[in-house]
Amino acid sequence: MILWKKAKVVFRRLKTLICQDIAFLAPWPLRTYLHRARGVKVGKNVFIGNLVVLDNGHSEYITIEDNVQISPGAKIVAHDSSFRNVSGGALPTYIGPVTVKRNAYIGTGAIILPGVTIGESAIVGAGAVVVSDVPPKTIVAGVPAKIVGTFEEKAEKFLSKSGLFLWKYYETPRKLEKDEILETKKKLSL
């Protein structure tokens, strides 16, 4: 009986590793499917970039809600075995579920550590290392990640930039007209 339980764990881990390795470079729609097959809870309309790592050992402790975007090279880790290793096995492996709430954005190369919740409509900057919960509608950046502003503050600043914008994916980048900026601010209640 114990041998059967160990075999089930080995097969689950093997399936997880194979799906993770394929998802690492697979085309976008396939990546989402492969991560679901590994046990990651993935909502609707989720984009997972290439080179993304979702915990190899404990992917079932990761929840990604609807409309989330995870940029290329990001990592989400749901376990920490450092103390177990350093203590020679005297301490257990820590497993902390990770949740990425609706409409959140995780930048390129960001690392989310165990036990963290990324709040609804929050933004994690590129390369940030997130060690604690991110409140809804806030923007975090840095190592360790710290709050650098709110969505509303940064959206106002973003809309005032003088560069080009890609308003709809099928349009050529252009400057936004004043009425488009006002309409967008109204939609966002800025």
The pTM assigned to this predicted structure is 0.86
Domains of the chain, CATH where assigned: 2-149 (2.160.10.10), 160-190 (no CATH)
Supply the mean pLDDT for the chain: 89
Residue 106: band (very low, low, confident or very high) from pLDDT cuts 50, 70, 90: very high
Give the alpha-carbon dihedral of 28, 121, 56, 73, to 10 degrees. Answer: 60
Instruction: Output 133 or 26, whichever has higher pLDDT.
Output: 133
Please name which of 5, 53, 2 lies closest in space to residue 25, comparing C-alpha atoms: 53
Cα distances (angstroms) measured from residue 176 to each of 99, 155, 163: 35, 14, 9
Catalytic residues: 79
CA distance 157 to 148: 13
The pLDDT score that the predictor gives to residue 34 is 87
| pLDDT at position 4 over 80 | no
Contact at 8 Å (CB) between 38 and 15?
yes
Contact at 8 Å (CB) between 89 and 53?
no
Q: What is the pLDDT of residues 116-168, one digit of tens each?
A: 999 999 999 999 999 999 999 999 999 999 999 999 888 888 888 877 787 77
| pLDDT at position 3 over 80 | no
